[in-house]
């Protein structure tokens, strides 16, 4: 018998061990899916917020004689604040945690 062979009595024990390994891997993957689903939902909400903000800004009247470059800076700063306030944008890798 070589080192890779199992006796008939050892097969059920090895199968049980393998079943536990697979069950543990499946549970780990379920946890990852749960975390990724939450992150995906968060990103979807953030994208919707950006769409609403863009639509709102496009709907604002253009004030006559306003300095457009000053307004662009204000909007840029507000946009940066919006991005920084999102938890997914402030953590490494866009909110993904290493597991």
Residue 20 has pLDDT above 80, yes or no: yes
Higher pLDDT, 4 or 23: 23
What pLDDT, on the 0 to 100 scale, is given for residue 78?
Answer: 60
Residue 56 has pLDDT above 80, yes or no: yes
Residue 70 has pLDDT above 80, yes or no: no
* CB-facing half-sphere around the CA of 5: CA atoms within 13 A: 4
What pLDDT, on the 0 to 100 scale, is given for residue 69?
Answer: 55
What pLDDT, on the 0 to 100 scale, is given for residue 74?
Answer: 59
Which residues contact residue 10 at a Cβ distance below 8 angstroms, ignoring those fewer than 6 apart? none
């Amino acid at each position: 018998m070589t080192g890779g062979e199992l006796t008939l009595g050892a097969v059920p024990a090895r199968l049980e061990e393998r079943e536990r390994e697979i069950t543990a891997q499946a549970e780990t993957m379920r946890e990852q899916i749960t975390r990724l689903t939450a992150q995906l939902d968060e990103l979807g909400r953030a994208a919707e917020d950006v769409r609403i903000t863009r639509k709102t800004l496009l709907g604002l009247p253009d004030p006559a004689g306003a300095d457009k470059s000053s307004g662009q800076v204000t909007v840029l700063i507000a946009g940066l604040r919006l991005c920084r306030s999102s938890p997914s944008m402030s953590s490494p890798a866009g909110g993904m945690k290493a597991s």
